[in-house]
Amino acid sequence: MDRRSFFGIVAATPALASVAFAQSAAAKKTGCYVLQHYYLQLGSQAARLADYLSKTYLPALAKVHSGPTLALDAQLAPHLPLVTVVSGYQSVDEMWGVRARLNADKAFEAATDTWQAGPEAPFASMTTELLEAADFSPEIAPLDPQPKTPRIFEMRVYQTRTLKELRGLKERFAEAEVKILAKAGAQPILFGATAIGSDNPNLTWMIAFEDMAAREKFNAAFAADPDWIKLRQQSLERYGQIPSIRRITLYRATAYSPIR
């Protein structure tokens, strides 16, 4: 997809009428996230992809982009193996500029061709999503010090039936849910509405945990939190049952992920 056709899609999508992609280059806050999902087959694809991402793609990206990047290996998902790379950008313009610089890097191009020229296809399929960062989404930053072992990351896609329900869902998170998540023991990572991708309209969000035991402890604390119980009831009274569909994917950060 070239730049012109991409912005044509953005302009023609009613759900994007209020998307704040026209951020100034001086803005520091992440304005959008790009999610690249690599769906793999059992065999050599996972090892080849790990080698490519760790030795070629991520080092090349770091040379031209200082924004946050996560490389995640799915532990529980409808399709396994699955590797997802999450990158944050100030704006769509910045994303296109980074892509242009990568495409102009001949060494990167040659290394990518080598990876894709193996005895079998480099992946079964790949999809890319663009998320508009919610106003209440935190900035993704590495922990200091970095965890001794990679964290568990839980991605949720909350699909709604209407844009009104999506606004209600965003309102619920902005009012208090993000703080309640943190109070119950989760580490909020990102919150964004899918601008380009499947299952629209939806809110995609991610939280992190030290390990699976911490996740289980969080689930119990969150479900019993009186502030959450009150907030959920208020949401039901205002908008009814939202979301209509929930999808959950559990990841572990890869050993080579810039942020673990």
Residue 25 has a pLDDT of 36
141 Cβ contact list (under 8 Å, min separation 6): 68, 259
pLDDT for the residue numbered 253: 98
Confidence (pLDDT) at 2? 45
- pLDDT reported for residue 195: 95
Across the range 199-208, mean pLDDT stands at 96
Give tens-digit pLDDT for 100-140: 999 999 999 999 999 999 789 999 999 999 999 999 999 99
- Cα 35 to Cα 1, 44, 102: the distances in Å are 16, 23, 17
Instruction: Provide the greatest CA pair distance for the chain.
Output: 57
Quick one: tokens of 241? 């049952």
pLDDT tens digits for range 145-197: 888 899 999 999 999 999 999 999 999 999 999 999 999 999 999 999 999 99
- How long a stretch of residues is the chain? 260
Antiparallel, parallel or unpaired: β 187-196 and 202-209: antiparallel
Q: What is the pLDDT of residues 54-105, one digit of tens each?
A: 999 999 999 999 999 999 999 999 999 999 999 999 999 999 999 999 999 9
H/E segment holding residue 9: helix 3-12
Q: What is the pLDDT of residue 119?
A: 84
Q: Hey, what domains does the chain have and what are their CATH numbers?
A: 3-253 (3.30.70.100)
Given a contact cutoff of 8 angstroms between Cβ atoms, the answer to whether 15 and 200 are in contact is: yes
